[in-house]
Amino acid sequence: MKPNMNSAMKQVQKAQAEMARVQEELKSDLVTASAGGGAVKVSITGDLTVTAVTIDPRAVDPDDVEMLQDMVLAAVNEALREAQELANTKMSRIMGGLSLPGGMGF
């Protein structure tokens, strides 16, 4: 291999190791999103595992279950969006520093 290719391979290996580390870290990173002014809260890890759903008892209206369902859905979707944004931010830091020869950089 040419020296440039050796250097590129080392960069790739380093990035792979860093990505594995970040993926492990994401398992313990937690984001929480809420809906309905905090009536429904959802916590999710950076690797997209829902860890908690909290519903304020005042949000439970037997005559309007649909509103509660909508709040849960909104909180879950916001938590997923925030967790994916967190993961993307952490991964882009790794990939942003990777420069490969021949314009193959990220």
Cα Rg of the chain, angstroms: 20
What residues contact 38, with CB distance under 8 A and at least 6 apart?
56
Question: In 3-state terms, what secondary structure has residue 35?
Answer: strand
Query: What is the CATH classification number for the domain harbouring 87?
Result: 3.30.1310.10
pLDDT of residue 7: 81
Taking all residues of the chain, what is their mean pLDDT, rounded to a whole number?
Answer: 87
Range among 2-6, 44-48, 73-77 rated most confident? 73-77
Higher-confidence residue: 34 or 3?
Answer: 34
pLDDT of residue 2: 62
How many structural domains comprise the chain?
1
Question: In 3-state terms, what secondary structure has residue 75?
Answer: helix
106 found inside a domain:
no
Q: 101 falls in which pLDDT band (50, 70, 90)?
A: low
Average pLDDT over residues 44-72: 94
In which domain, by residue range, is 38 found? 3-101
Residue 75 identity (one-letter amino acid): A
